[in-house]
């Protein structure tokens, strides 16, 4: 096999394309990397599904994770095992995907009416889906404005808001996921809500 290019294991249960080329990391041979994929893909898939709740998206995320890991292997310093290093990379990748995936669910129930004063997210109203063309256009504008506001939040505030509001984790669970204290998660969450409500109020003033 070419020493400057490799392909993720073609017979992988995740269905990797054998034509997926990867740069030589200088740290693992092609055979070693294929073995690494086979040893870790099932656990990585379970991890991805726990975040994304969709098997197809989870498979895509795992493939992205292995590609990213191979390309970044040159930066691996040996401070931890390769497996630990890879799962840290996967968690960061999944947090980014989760934030993008969940933002529209957040928007659907938190444009203006959510005070953020309780610990539980408000229920979604099924009647919201019964919209005419004018209402749908307005809803789309609100979603886009909210997405911009969410993306503008400091990183940690955005992560806590996404985990709590969109995935339904308690603030304690969100804190454990992010490796911070529950008190810190609550502080980030309420700051996020305050910031989002302020930005959305400004947007509403500008458009009325």
Q: For residue 25, give the nearest of 113, 79, 86, 104 by alpha carbon.
A: 86
In the chain, how long is the greatest CA-to-CA distance? 63
Ramachandran bin of 26, using left for φ above 0, alpha for ψ from -120 to 50, beta for the remaining angles: left
CATH number of 110-123+131-207: 1.10.10.10
Q: What is the pTM of this model?
A: 0.43
Q: Where in the sequence of the chain do the CATH 1.10.1740.10 domains occur? A: 5-96
Q: Where in the sequence of the chain do the CATH 1.10.10.10 domains occur? A: 110-123+131-207
Q: What fold is seen in the domain 5-96?
A: Rna Polymerase Sigma Factor; Chain: A (1.10.1740)
Q: Where in the chain does DSSP place strands (E)?
A: 5-7, 21-23
Q: What is the pLDDT along the chain (208 residues), one digit of tens a residue?
A: 433 234 344 444 444 443 333 333 446 677 888 888 898 888 888 878 877 878 899 999 999 999 888 887 766 666 666 777 887 788 889 888 877 666 555 555 454 444 444 444 444 443 444 456 766 777 778 778 877 887 888 988 988 887 777 656 688 888 887 889 999 999 999 999 898 888 888 887 787 6
């Amino acid at each position: 096999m070419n020493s400057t290019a490799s392909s993720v294991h073609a017979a992988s249960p995740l269905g990797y394309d054998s034509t997926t080329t990867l740069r030589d990391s200088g740290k693992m041979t092609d055979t070693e990397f294929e073995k690494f994929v086979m040893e870790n893909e099932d656990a990585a898939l379970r991890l991805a599904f726990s975040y994304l709740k969709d098997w197809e998206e989870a498979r895509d995320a795992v493939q992205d994770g292995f590609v990213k890991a191979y390309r970044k292997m040159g930066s691996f310093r040996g401070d931890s095992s390769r497996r630990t290093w890879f799962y840290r990379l996967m968690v960061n990748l999944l947090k980014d995907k989760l934030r993008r995936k969940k933002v529209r669910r957040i928007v659907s129930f938190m444009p203006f009416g959510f005070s953020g004063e309780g610990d539980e997210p408000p229920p979604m109203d099924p009647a919201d889906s019964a919209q005419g063309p004018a209402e749908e256009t307005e809803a789309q504008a609100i979603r886009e404005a909210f997405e911009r506001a969410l993306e503008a939040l400091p990183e940690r505030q955005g992560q806590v808001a996404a985990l709590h509001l969109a995935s339904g984790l308690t603030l304690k669970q969100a804190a454990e996921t992010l490796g911070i204290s529950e008190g810190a998660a609550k502080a980030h969450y309420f700051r996020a809500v305050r910031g989002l409500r302020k930005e959305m109020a400004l947007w509403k003033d500008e458009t009325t």
